[in-house]
A and B are shown apart, each in its own frame.
Chain A
Amino acid sequence: MILASTLSPLMGLALVVAAFGVAVFTFYGILGLVRKKPQTVPAVPDDQTEGPPKPPEGTGVPHIKLLWWAYIASDCMLFGSLIAGYLVYKGRSLTGPWPLDVFDFQTTTISTFILLTSSLTMVLQLAAIQRGDLGKFRLWNVATILCGLVFLGYQVFEFSTFIEEGLTMQTNLFGASFYLLTGFHGVHVAVGVLWMILLLVHSFWGGVTKKKAVHVEVAGLYWHFVDVVWIVIFSVVYLMEMPGS
């Protein structure tokens, strides 16, 4: 019951964010696949090998990339305020469990390392599809998915251990701000994994090609950003609590 009541707000959030991810993907992924007519403006404007030279675009950046960078900038503000919220409440809980009672630094370090590795596989995945190497693309794509899943698996394990030890969202300020921040991040990872899986499926339908590499690139932008956010969370939330400091 405690589990259910703690996770239900997170589930609500998960649904909203996942719905957004699916909507965006449907728009860019599936519609991109269905639309078979020759495009006047190719997805990759600097791909000058075929067709007549195009007039320069306004920004020199594919629109989809501009869109995702704008999204990332706004996501930055979301996570920034959650982190600021965590810091404001830090050390002000009136009752335990306190961070040191529940944190497991070793396991968190390993899962951090795994998330960092997934950024490498992500960028290798993009390099492969930019070369047109579909086999390597799938290999690194699956590796990215696995890393993401391991990270999520650890987070589920971490949350359930914390709840067993008596820390829920309602327990104290630490619980509320911690679950909100890391839960939000976890939902982002989950959406990223979903996106990777869809890219994989899409690649079997013939929708992932060298010419459309920009679709993988924006997925990568999102993935790396979620990784970068974790870098900050790991330092601010976990490492700053290290015993003795």
Chain B
Amino acid sequence: MSNKNNNYLKIAVILTLVTVVEVMLPSWSPQTVYNVLLLSLAALKFWLVIQVYMHLKKDPALLGWIFGMGVFLIAGSAWAIIVMLNPNAAQPSPRSEVAHQTPEVVEIEVANPCHTPDPTPTNPCEGGEVVEMEVANPCEGGNALTKDEMIALGETVATQLGCSACHSVDGSRLVGPSWKGLLGREQEMDDGTTIIVDTAYIRESVLDPMKRAPKGFIKGMMPMGLTMTASDEEVEALLHYLASL
């Protein structure tokens, strides 16, 4: 075996050891630390293979530039894609702004009788029961919305998610069934049954559209991941809006 082969073997041993370390890495460390460690080790392996096995170390710099350019371009684009499509990113989307405006509205209500400095035991707010979203209880926690606000937010969400490309609210048929009078209407389904649309069905239609479809519409046309960029609250608001039409 030549010197060169010995070198290759050494790299193989290092690669294996790094992989073992990666798998053994204590996963109790904080998520960010853990991810950064993993990515650095992966980058180390990446670099070793490129430099030694693919001979970038010895080859003319031109090849390294070509490859480096590819890596640079995609690293930048990937970062941009992830930041743009991440709902938790620093840039608030117009949709979350709607939700963020509400605390101001709530502040006006602070003067309501539920928050008097000397609450009597009969205060209806003390019960601690779980308050349903539908109940427009003014005593509810900081940023809960009233029903009307939910519906308004839902309409915004529906517009933002592009649902109106396939659904009308005036009864006309587009790619999908119209939302006019959705709640409570009688509807024939593709499996031969006839159902009365209720809130559970609306929820299922939005979150799991592949399950069933109304008769005459194609299952699978309705995109499944549309609600993925929406927060739970926004999805709830969307469902309220659909039930209100």
Docked CA distance A211–B173 (Å): 69
Q: Are B9 and A109 in contact (CB under 8 A)?
A: no
A66: which B residues are within 8 A, CB to CB? 62-63, 66
With contacts A81-B77, A235-B39 taken as known, whether A124 is within 8 angstroms of B49 at the C-beta atoms is: no
State which of A88, A176, A221, A236 has its C-beta within 8 Å of the C-beta of B86: A88
A245: which B residues are within 8 A, CB to CB? 27-29, 31, 34
Docked CA distance A81–B29 (Å): 28
Residue of A with least CB distance to B64: A69
Does A34 count as interface, using CB distance less than 8 angstroms?
Answer: no
Docked CA distance A228–B4 (Å): 21
Docked CA distance A57–B63 (Å): 15
With contacts A59-B60, A60-B60 taken as known, whether A73 is within 8 angstroms of B66 at the C-beta atoms is: yes
Does B227 count as interface, using CB distance less than 8 angstroms?
Answer: yes
Stretch at the interface among B67-75, B125-133, B158-166: B67-75
Does B122 count as interface, using CB distance less than 8 angstroms?
Answer: no
- How many residues in B have their beta carbons less than 8 Å from beta carbons of A? 56
With contacts A73-B67, A231-B42, A245-B34 taken as known, whether A84 is within 8 angstroms of B27 at the C-beta atoms is: no
Interface residues of A in 51-79 (CB under 8 A from B): 59-61, 65-66, 69-70, 72-74, 76-77, 79
Residue of A with least CB distance to B13: A120
Identify which of B15, B39, B70 gathers the most chain A CB atoms within 10 Å of its CB.
B70
List 6 additional A-B contacts (Cβ < 8 Å) besides A61-B62, A80-B71, A84-B82. Answer: A66-B62, A80-B74, A94-B227, A122-B53, A173-B228, A244-B28
24 contacts between A and B (CB under 8 A): A66-B66, A69-B66, A72-B67, A77-B70, A79-B74, A84-B78, A88-B81, A94-B208, A109-B19, A122-B53, A123-B8, A124-B5, A127-B5, A172-B224, A217-B55, A221-B54, A228-B46, A231-B45, A231-B46, A232-B42, A232-B46, A235-B22, A242-B27, A244-B27
Interface residues of B (CB under 8 A from A): 2, 4-5, 8-9, 11-12, 15-16, 19, 22-23, 25, 27-29, 31, 34-35, 38-39, 41-42, 45-46, 49-50, 52-55, 59-60, 62-63, 66-67, 69-71, 73-75, 77-78, 81-82, 85-86, 207-208, 210, 224-225, 227-228
